[in-house]
Structure 1
Amino acid sequence: MPVVQVETPAAHAVAASKETLEDYTLRFAPRSYRKWSPAVVGVSALGGIAYLADFSIGANIGIANGTGNALLGIGIFALVVMLTGFPLAYYAARYNIDLDLITRGSGFGYYGSVVTNIVFASFTFIFFALEGSIMAQGLKLGLHVPVPLGYLVSTVMIFPLVIYGMNTLAKLQVWTTPLWLILMVLPFGFLLVRHPDSVGSFLAYGGQDGKGVSLSGALLAAGVCLSLIAQIAEQIDYLRFMPPRTPENARKWWGWMLLAGPGWVLFGAIKQVVGLFLAVYLIASLPGAQDIANQPVHQFLEIYRDMMPSWLAMTLAVALVVISQIKINVTNAYSGSLAWTNSFTRVTKTYPGRIVFLGLNLTIALILMEANMFDFLNNILGFYANCGIAWIVTVATDIAINKYVLKISPKQPEFRRGMLYDFNPVGLVGFGLSAALSIATFFGLFGETLKPYSPIVAVVVSFLATPATAILTKGRYYLRRDHDGIELDMFDAHGNPSGETLTCAVTGMEFERPDMIASAVPGPEGEIQYISSLALSTDKTGLHVLPPR
């Protein structure tokens, strides 16, 4: 028995260890749980991008800025997401940790990453509300369900699907993906064959102002699209369950990591282009379509009606909306609940359970829907993009530049309490300065001329300020300690996190080596005791936290 047995962390840590329900909310995903193949993990992750918001975003930016500017903006968006998404996705899949755990050791510190967790949680309920609004539009059109009631239905139905985490989500995403692909791709292909002239109309569309292609128009479009940059965090919530990379599975591991990680943006960009294409077709061929051309349910309904009887068209359009909304909003709800839980537990040292924050996230989303946020989509996403870009680019820059080029930041990720400083100025300065300047630019504080360039401001400031701060501080605020007090190797022969287990002195439970750290409290015979990062995160006394190096 350990000399010091702290009741509070033990009780909370045991509660947090109910993996069937909690899905490794506060720590890395161990080998014993990662039983899926790279393909299953990849398909599950890509199932989370089945959302229809891309169709609305593509339609909105094209109607506002014209096809040329929209296509350029989508291209800029895709390039930024690919470049920033790769290092994040690789670290998640290689070391089996979510983006919050990556953020902690990539310039923010143990508590510093709480602010970015809140940014991510905001992303999940904003896009939950957006997808819920689209579903309510479908229910209203197909089943005559009042829109406010549709908001409630689209929210409540998600709750039971998310309770059991990855086990349920993997099955849901894999089994619904084929039907979703057929329903989405078929009408678009039909339109190209049946109305080939629609391609010319699409390319020639000049938008509401008809000013033609310009850098400012392209950047305004890119700014709205870049609000989706934080989607990589949701991809990572699946990618952290990738199996260990070995010589036997290396090709599949790399392929699915790239496709389901930064590669998600290829599918997103295609959907945005298709959304604009369908919107332009409706505006050109359907009188009075200007007001509904940005609504995915109407986009697909009108194409289905050209293919089949009206009753069947309506059925398929509603089915597509419902399936898409479920596929993405289980991910939004799941990821949001993880983000809230992680932050709350670190700050309060209390673990209330992920289900509590699942309810909170859904409640906030429902309030946004009832406030009719869909009508203010471009403004909301344009503003949010600045915060999302500041976070993602800062972390990606720390990994790519500070770790691999400057070699100031420790290359192997660290997330455990006691090993990290509470706050690291590298990430906080890079993120804070980028967010502040880009938001000020977005609201025109530096003049109307610079206003469209707020996404570029966010990218450039993050990219420059992050390594500059690391150089100025000489990297001294990354690691509080150089060693975790355990002699057992952290990684196996292939560089994967070790599957060896140790017993936690507080909970009495077995945890894998990467999740463990030596306790500052010796055993009854003066021997070294081990404590899990899970128990350490709920230790209000701090007795088990090792001293600084």
Structure 2
Amino acid sequence: MAARQRIIPVRREYNRWVANQTLEDYALRFTAKSARRFSSSRISQTAIGAISFLALEAIGGTITLSYGTTNAIFAIVAAAIAMLAIGWPISRYAIRHGVDIDLLTRGASFGYIGSTITSLIYASFTFMLFAIEASIMTGALDLAFGIPPWIGYIISAVVVIPLVIYGVQLISRFQLITQPFWIILNILPFVFIAFMDWQKFDLWRAFAGIDHSNAQVGGPAPFNLVEFGAASAVILALMPQIGEQVDFLRFLPPEGLRKWRHRFAVFLAGPGWVVVGVPKLLAGSFLAVLTLSTAVPIREAADPAHMYFAAFGYMIPNDTAALLLMAAFVVVSQLKINVMNAYAGSLAWSNFFSRLTHSHPGRVVWLVFNVVIALLLMELGIYRLLEATLGIFSIVAMAWLCTISADLMINKPLGLSPEGIEFKRAHLYDINPVGLGSMFGSAAIALAAHFGLFGPLMASLATYVTLIAFLISPALAFATKGKFYLARKPRQSWKTLGSITCSICEHPFEHEDMAWCPAYAAPICSLCCSLDSRCHDMCKPHARLNTQVGAVARSFLPESVITRLTTRLGRYATTAVFRSR
């Protein structure tokens, strides 16, 4: 029997951005228990600060102008219930295991390489939402100060970078400082409107959409199921927001605190963000109708800058003062959300490229990369395509997050998948067909519905069709007997150790972040394991991508076709496929 090949370790020297966890914030690894020292109130305040985004008002206004108040309200409530139910298990497992949304996805039925697809989905959400939010801020700067949009885009993007470089510590401090100003100005204008012009609420309730004849004033606008579905699709595109909440919740201590205040804070900071989000969506719905009644053009009535200029006009009779207050409010609100978008995007891109390139220049590099992409989208005018963009994106995002939630909510309690969340490359199959099959299956059915295969009614309700993932995921887990979740198990004896030194970077880490590497015959941390390109996954030859592809291809393709296929994949792919025989 041939002796197992071993590789001589070469110490990995990370640059100062990667080595400094104040900058890096455990971007690619388990959040150490020693770093999870924030109080539930501070983290919840930080996470709730993410709900400041005025895209909620913009979306509420957009769907109201298009589909009417009644359809908008029903869509907001239905979408909120769906987001709350889907996000609840995701938040609980993230806190319990100290992982961000990407690491959670790896262990929740997607596998090590399979989750690169979801990292790209999540990264797309962060820079798309960043671009939308910065476009709103740019509109406020243009309206208040006459700053040209192309300059406003640059200002709105670049100003975020210094706030995000130092990670959760600086972000949480910024959120706490700006919170009182944001809360007061969110509530106060509606108090003035209620006392001074209550009739506008009656006008809002009766509004049936710009393409419809309004219902009788004083009565509600009619309900239409097709328009309800179309409005829901736009709102459900916000489902990945739970990922940004999780990126901060992982810094909470493990579930040892059983006090109700802690649980309530965690709820609000996690899936309960919709409890704060729903009033903001309704506020945008109302303000769009209010703004439209002031003779503002339809294309600008759903713009938060014009919305809050009209709202602050009830508080301050002076137009200049109202304009300046609006600008201050919009700038603060958009900075509060875009620090979260930029931070989450830096984590998503770090995870995505580390698996494809086996390199990691640091979270700060991907922070700048994310902001640059968002800036390009702003210059191309993404805000003008808000409804169309979010409608398609919601199907893909919902398919991904429904699959994760189904695994955590159904598969794990039923024993169809292993307990806990395993995220290390050394312990995972590259591809887990449960997650990918469920996500692609539910997305394919929903997209078919969206493009009219099942009629106009199902086309409008296509986003809700992705809930079929709650059936597909357990069915696939049962069919595969859960064997594609773990390639091998961690060493149980390490659980008693406080920390273990990585043989490659020579830094100590907690045992959850470590694996035994047969290639180096020594312990290795999760990040060094992810970045290693010399071992060729010696620890899990049966779980490598090429081996898995070969096993599937061998079941329905002739040997001659497999030979040609593996030859094109390269010498390593050929060896991996035929070694599994």
TM-score, structure 2 as length reference: 0.88
Cα drift, residue 547 of structure 1: 4.2
CA distance in 2, matches of 1:392, 1:126: 18
CA distance in 2, matches of 1:243, 1:381: 34
8 Å Cα contact 2:226-2:456 kept in structure 1: no
> SS where residue 418 of structure 1 aligns?
helix
Corresponding residue to 2:528 among 529, 535, 549 = 535
Corresponding residue to 1:407 among 376, 393, 415 = 415
> AA paired with 2:304?
P
- Larger deviation: 251-260 or 426-435? 251-260
CA distance in 2, matches of 1:520, 1:486: 17
**Match of residue 143 from structure 1:** 145
Q: Structure 2: any 5+ residue segments left out of the alignment?
A: 1-5, 214-221, 543-581
**Match of residue 239 from structure 1:** 249
For residues 174-213 of structure 1, the aligned pairs below 5 Å read 174-210=176-212, 212-213=222-223
8 Å Cα contact 2:17-2:23 kept in structure 1: no
CA distance in 1, matches of 2:540, 2:128: 41
CA distance in 2, matches of 1:127, 1:547: 38
> AA paired with 1:485?
R
- Larger deviation: 377-386 or 159-168? 159-168
Moved over 6 A (4+): none
Corresponding residue to 2:90 among 70, 88, 107 = 88
CA distance in 2, matches of 1:322, 1:394: 36
> SS where residue 111 of structure 1 aligns?
coil
CA distance in 1, matches of 2:307, 2:17: 47
CA distance in 1, matches of 2:296, 2:259: 53
> AA paired with 2:504?
V
CA 1:315–1:7 in 2, change beyond 3 Å: closer, same or farther?
same
1:35-76 Cα distance to aligned partner (Å, 9 max, x none): 210110111011112100000100011111111100010011
How many percent identity over aligned positions?
Answer: 39
**Match of residue 284 from structure 2:** 275
> SS where residue 500 of structure 2 aligns?
strand
> AA paired with 1:187?
P
Corresponding residue to 1:7 among 6, 10, 13 = 10
> AA paired with 2:464?
I
8 Å Cα contact 2:225-2:457 kept in structure 1: no
> AA paired with 1:278?
L
Cα drift, residue 139 of structure 1: 0.3
CA distance in 1, matches of 2:37, 2:538: 32
1:525-549 Cα distance to aligned partner (Å, 9 max, x none): xxxx321111111111127853479
1:421-442 Cα distance to aligned partner (Å, 9 max, x none): 0100000011111222222322
For residues 305-324 of structure 1, the aligned pairs below 5 Å read 305-308=313-316, 309-324=318-333
1:268-302 Cα distance to aligned partner (Å, 9 max, x none): 11101010111112223x12443321011111111
CA distance in 1, matches of 2:342, 2:315: 35
Corresponding residue to 2:224 among 209, 214, 218 = 214
Cα drift, residue 93 of structure 1: 1.1
CA distance in 1, matches of 2:121, 2:254: 30
CA distance in 2, matches of 1:224, 1:66: 14
8 Å Cα contact 1:430-1:466 kept in structure 2: yes
CA distance in 1, matches of 2:175, 2:520: 47
1:69-106 Cα distance to aligned partner (Å, 9 max, x none): 00010011101101000000001111110011111011
> SS where residue 273 of structure 1 aligns?
helix
8 Å Cα contact 2:67-2:227 kept in structure 1: yes
> SS where residue 431 of structure 2 aligns?
coil
**Match of residue 518 from structure 2:** 520
8 Å Cα contact 1:399-1:411 kept in structure 2: no
> SS where residue 256 of structure 2 aligns?
coil
8 Å Cα contact 2:192-2:314 kept in structure 1: no
Corresponding residue to 1:488 among 488, 491, 494 = 494
The alignment status of 1:424 with 2:427, answered yes or no, reads no
Cα drift, residue 210 of structure 1: 2.9
The alignment status of 1:363 with 2:366, answered yes or no, reads no
> AA paired with 1:510?
P
CA distance in 1, matches of 2:100, 2:520: 31
8 Å Cα contact 1:92-1:236 kept in structure 2: yes
8 Å Cα contact 2:9-2:520 kept in structure 1: no
CA 1:300–1:14 in 2, change beyond 3 Å: closer, same or farther?
closer
CA 1:15–1:56 in 2, change beyond 3 Å: closer, same or farther?
closer
> AA paired with 1:513?
H
8 Å Cα contact 2:17-2:363 kept in structure 1: no
Q: Superposition RMSD on alpha carbons, in Å?
A: 1.9
The alignment status of 1:169 with 2:171, answered yes or no, reads yes
For residues 377-388 of structure 1, the aligned pairs below 5 Å read 377-388=386-397
> SS where residue 531 of structure 1 aligns?
strand
CA distance in 1, matches of 2:397, 2:361: 27
8 Å Cα contact 1:14-1:507 kept in structure 2: no
Q: Structure 1: any 5+ residue segments left out of the alignment?
A: 491-498, 524-528
Corresponding residue to 1:442 among 438, 450, 460 = 450
8 Å Cα contact 1:17-1:24 kept in structure 2: no
**Match of residue 338 from structure 1:** 347
**Match of residue 58 from structure 2:** 56
> SS where residue 292 of structure 1 aligns?
helix
8 Å Cα contact 1:408-1:474 kept in structure 2: yes
> AA paired with 2:330?
V
CA distance in 1, matches of 2:95, 2:263: 9
> AA paired with 2:280?
K
> SS where residue 39 of structure 1 aligns?
helix
CA distance in 1, matches of 2:194, 2:30: 46
Cα drift, residue 4 of structure 1: 5.0
Cα drift, residue 457 of structure 1: 1.4
CA distance in 2, matches of 1:148, 1:314: 21
Cα drift, residue 148 of structure 1: 1.1
**Match of residue 132 from structure 1:** 134
Rg larger in structure: 2
Corresponding residue to 1:546 among 534, 539, 551 = 539
CA distance in 2, matches of 1:478, 1:346: 18
8 Å Cα contact 2:9-2:503 kept in structure 1: no
CA distance in 1, matches of 2:337, 2:538: 39
> AA paired with 1:245?
E
Corresponding residue to 1:265 among 262, 265, 274 = 274
8 Å Cα contact 2:519-2:535 kept in structure 1: no
Cα drift, residue 306 of structure 1: 2.3
**Match of residue 475 from structure 2:** 468
1:100-152 Cα distance to aligned partner (Å, 9 max, x none): 11110111001110000100000001100100110010000111100111111
**Match of residue 36 from structure 2:** 34
> AA paired with 1:160?
P
> SS where residue 11 of structure 1 aligns?
coil
Cα drift, residue 485 of structure 1: 2.6
1:464-520 Cα distance to aligned partner (Å, 9 max, x none): 211111111111101111x22350327xxxxxxxx9211111111110121111221
8 Å Cα contact 1:47-1:327 kept in structure 2: yes
